[in-house]
Structure 1
Amino acid sequence: MATSVRQGFNASEHEGLYSASETRALDQWAIERAGIEGAVLMSRAAAAALRQLLLRWPQPALLQVLCGTGNNGGDGYLLADQARRRNIPVRVLQVGDPAKIRGDALRAREQALANGVPVAPFTGNALEAEGVLVDALLGTGLGGDVREPFAAAIDALNRAGQPVVALDIPSGLCADTGRVLGTAVRAHLTVTFIARKRGLFTLHGPDCSGQLEYADLALPTEALQSVAPAWRRLDLQRLLSAWPQRPAASHKGDYGTVLVVGGDYGFPGAVALAAEAALRCGAGLVRVATRPEHLTAIVARTPEAMVSAVRSGQELQPLLAGADVIVLGPGLGRSSWSGQLLQVALAAPQPVVIDADALNLLAELPRESAVLHENRVYTPHPGEAARLLGGSTAAVQCDRFAAADALQARLGGVVLLKGNGSLIADGQQQLLADYGNPGMASGGMGDVLSGVIGALLAQGLSPLEATALAACAHGAAADLAAAAGQRGLLASDLMLPLRKLLG
């Protein structure tokens, strides 16, 4: 097996993703340590949002700004005031009791009123059917489900059929989890301030935020470095920059042997996809251990893979010695045969990628029997994650970040919680990969991903490096393949784009 291309994965090279509390700490640092007044930050936020709005809609017939009673509403008032100074038709619709407005937000409202910005209370039929709408309702401080009158205002924004720009975060979206809190704005453009909120990049975040733009509000570098975010967003190009060209004297033994274990009755395609993905992503050799009945079909599809019939865990044992990496689970099933293969494979010392039914079988084992191995990679989707944690899929999706951390604490090694904004945790570093598209909601995608991870492990990457690069390349390959359309995208369509990205 090749030696690692990079010793020690440095997550700090990648964008920080911040929780609401981490963002508030940045904001507080800027005010108290850098001496930037809150009103100045609010004005900069308004200017940044207006700039992005006008880049997309240069001559809006009307700006209608829906303002809440907190600082997000203050941003909206200043945006309206700045638009009025540019002679852009504008009006503010106040949602909530204006008597509750305090501090910088109150001063922003008073400034807008003094400068002649029209302000009226929001009612259900208050929106004019023209121009651009601005969501300045709730911001990141929402602690529970959206209540009236804000729920009605959000509904009006979503029904209007006009472009919607959200300030900082779409109202109703949880900044920490990406969960919709009862109801949420579906923006066409979101301009987020000071820090990238992690909820914008997973679960419902991308659907609610539309096109996302970031404005640092000219905070000094020291301010942005003053709070270390728990999570970071992976950048595929940075990962690929450490992916070297192969020496001319290379041979297949330099790039490792991957053993794919699985394919119970009715599931030969799963191991075939994982095996082909491992080959396409550069593994030197790929072996498949599967039911005897599946040998012909797999060889016919992927003749480059060496396929062995295994009738029991005992017959799997000799194959393990020649493998550098084991991919366990594609099409494994949940039979007694499956359980035998699982027990034998899990006893091996090599790195193991554990996917699909291997995860479901693992969830059925007593917790006290679990042995934590640092060289294992677990790749559950939310349903599998729920079974491993003994909870529900809804609970996993309610806070995917917490679920990923809980899985890693339970299993050890590296956990990749798949989904919209896949999450990777190894107990020290926490990463998000947001490549990919809805076309990936089809069978076999996870089998391909497990093969990619196996190939990268075989070529010498650490479990965290391999998982990070595989998650990003897998999603990016799907984006390339979806150029012809997302519906009907097949897992096998990713093979050539993966080869192009990792070649």
Structure 2
Amino acid sequence: MEQQLVAVQHVSMYQLMQRAGDALFQALQLRWPSARHLWIFCGKGNNGGDGYVLARLAKLAGYNVEVVAFDEPPPGIPAEQARRDWLNAGGKCSGLHTLHGKPDLIIDALLGIGPSTPLRGELLAWIQFINRQAVPVLAVDIPSGLNADTGMPLGGAVHAAATLTFVALKCGLLTGLAADYTGDLYLSDLKNGAAGYCDIGGIHIMSYDRVAQSLFPRPRTAHKGDCGKVLLAGGGPGMPGAIRLAGEAALRTGAGLVKIFCHPENRQLVFSGRPELMFCHELAADTLCWPDVLVAGPGLGLDEWGQQQWQHLLSYHGKMVVDADALNWLAQEPQVRHNWVLTPHPGEAARLLQCTSADVQSDRFAAVQELQHRYGGVVLLKGFGTLISDGKQIAICTEGNPGMASGGMGDVLSGIIAALLAQGLPLYDAACCGALLHGKAANEIAKEHGERGMLASDLFFWLQKLANPQRYQHGKNADTNSQ
């Protein structure tokens, strides 16, 4: 993509590097306006070259700049010219042993997007040294030591307060453990005006504006039968909450009719206080002919009752959302279907793939693709940087926050996706839209009340708002029945 940008804009790689250095200088002035003493750690590659450009600009502006060079750039690359220009401007390069005092800000320009194997030796020691300093860090393009494809640290990575990435967002900045290292994430595309080059190939970053295009206003003559019928099955002994949350989420996202099947001992708790939920007595053949979409799994359980219900549910061949314990039963008896959405968290994904959660997290993109290959349909892999794959394309949802680390959140997501499927969205679109609504609702709650103490049921108020984008985007008096 850098090469495409260079070709389209008729600039050299060094000119592009100068744009990057200028963007970094502007970023630090805006984010840390009082910072005057900088330590800039430069590696031998072009990421280090960005650091040298920044160092020269800051020195010319009167900053106290100390450049710590890990190694000299090899001849012929833009970083060599950037280093030479820094030295010609009166700068010098030092080692760790020459640093003194305490800087206002550290710039991490050690490594770029290239490394993919565990770091060792002196380079890892430098990263650890940076992390020991009690000052903020601005990472150049990506925190050094973070895998740009997976978002996992390569034995260690710089903990940045902010990261300014260039040209395009890298997949590894948006998933895995990236959030613990990137800090606030910013993008400078380095364009000078419009540039006709591609975005991230094959990866779609979901946005509310994008999914809102799928949530059309309803016809004025719409009735409940037009808005889809959802049946949810789960709620085994001692677990009434999951299926109730999923059912109410389906209602709040617009499903016309919602039925719940659960264990008899849970019926009073599941249906109390929400009369709009319909009761399903048994999973008989005529019952399974009723829904447009079936949700299997919330609170289903792994006991004999749960296994019996799972076998009944497998006789349904319409659109399904498979979650929670239904995924665990599926892992024991794998099969492929093309009309279901699977919504595993990393632990469930590990059981489906017969590996460990650490294996799943080490490369979430590979995991979601392998899950889709083995089980078909659409797979939504939960976690930071939720991934959705249908085998042909992958979407990533960056909405959400740590407040969602509480019981029932996944059940709410299943209900949302089911409601969207029931209203006619295709599997992939429903999964993408559902993940976005789910995460954005949680973010709206966090803005008002904070993250700690957020409950899954708190999302319902915002789900209804977000499921009506015409009203949400254009004001409370907007007519949702008109374009």
Q: Same fold (TM over 0.5)?
A: yes
Tell me which of 91, 95, 112 is aligned to 1:117.
91
CA distances 1:204-256 after superposition (whole Å, capped 9, x unpaired): 1122111111111127866523x761212111122113312223322211111
Query: Post-superposition shift, 1:37?
Result: 1.4
Is 1:492 the counterpart of 2:457 in the alignment? yes
Q: Distance in 2 between matches of 1:373 and 1:494?
A: 31
SS in 2 for 1:478: helix
CA distances 1:119-143 after superposition (whole Å, capped 9, x unpaired): 21123x8363231110000111112
Tell me which of 85, 101, 110 is aligned to 2:60.
85
Moved more, 131-140 or 206-215: 206-215
Query: Post-superposition shift, 1:383?
Result: 0.7
Opposite residue 92 of structure 2, the aligned amino acid is: P
Matched ranges for 1:21-36 at <5 A: 26-31=1-6, 35-36=10-11
The aligned counterpart of 2:475 is none
Matched ranges for 1:213-232 at <5 A: 213-218=186-191, 224-225=197-198, 229-232=201-204
Q: Distance in 2 between matches of 1:451 and 1:107?
A: 57
The aligned counterpart of 1:133 is 106
Opposite residue 498 of structure 1, the aligned amino acid is: L
Superposition TM-score, scaled by structure 1 size: 0.89
CA distances 1:324-359 after superposition (whole Å, capped 9, x unpaired): 110100001112322222222222121000000000
Superposition TM-score, scaled by structure 2 size: 0.93
Distance 1:287 1:130, change over 3 A: same
The aligned counterpart of 1:10 is none
The aligned counterpart of 1:68 is 43
Is 1:461 the counterpart of 2:435 in the alignment? no
Q: Distance in 1 between matches of 2:234 and 2:136?
A: 49
Distance 1:33 1:280, change over 3 A: closer
Larger RCO: Structure 1 or Structure 2 (Cα < 8 Å, ≥ 6 residues apart)?
A: 1
Tell me which of 266, 273, 277 is aligned to 1:305.
277
Q: CA RMSD in A?
A: 1.8
Q: Distance in 1 between matches of 2:138 and 2:154?
A: 19
SS in 2 for 1:498: helix
CA distances 1:89-117 after superposition (whole Å, capped 9, x unpaired): 2110112x337576221221111011112
The aligned counterpart of 2:208 is 236
The aligned counterpart of 1:390 is 354
Opposite residue 119 of structure 2, the aligned amino acid is: V
Is 1:326 the counterpart of 2:294 in the alignment? yes
Q: Distance in 1 between matches of 2:443 and 2:100?
A: 37
Q: Distance in 2 between matches of 1:316 and 1:495?
A: 31
Opposite residue 391 of structure 1, the aligned amino acid is: C
CA distances 1:415-458 after superposition (whole Å, capped 9, x unpaired): 00000000000011110001000111111110000000011111
SS in 1 for 2:121: coil
Contact 1:438 1:486 in 2 (8 A): yes
Is 1:336 the counterpart of 2:304 in the alignment? yes
Contact 2:168 2:200 in 1 (8 A): no
Tell me which of 471, 481, 484 is aligned to 2:435.
471
Q: Distance in 2 between matches of 1:404 and 1:188?
A: 29
Opposite residue 173 of structure 2, the aligned amino acid is: L
Opposite residue 72 of structure 2, the aligned amino acid is: P
Contact 2:176 2:363 in 1 (8 A): no
Query: Post-superposition shift, 1:321?
Result: 1.3
The aligned counterpart of 2:480 is none
State the identity %: 45
Tell me which of 93, 118, 125 is aligned to 1:145.
118
Query: Post-superposition shift, 1:277?
Result: 0.5
CA distances 1:151-195 after superposition (whole Å, capped 9, x unpaired): 222222222221211111010110000001111111111111112
SS in 2 for 1:77: helix
- Where in structure 2 are there 5+ consecutive unaligned residues? 469-483
Query: Post-superposition shift, 1:35?
Result: 4.1
Opposite residue 236 of structure 2, the aligned amino acid is: D
SS in 2 for 1:248: coil
Q: Aligned residues, how many?
A: 467
SS in 1 for 2:280: strand
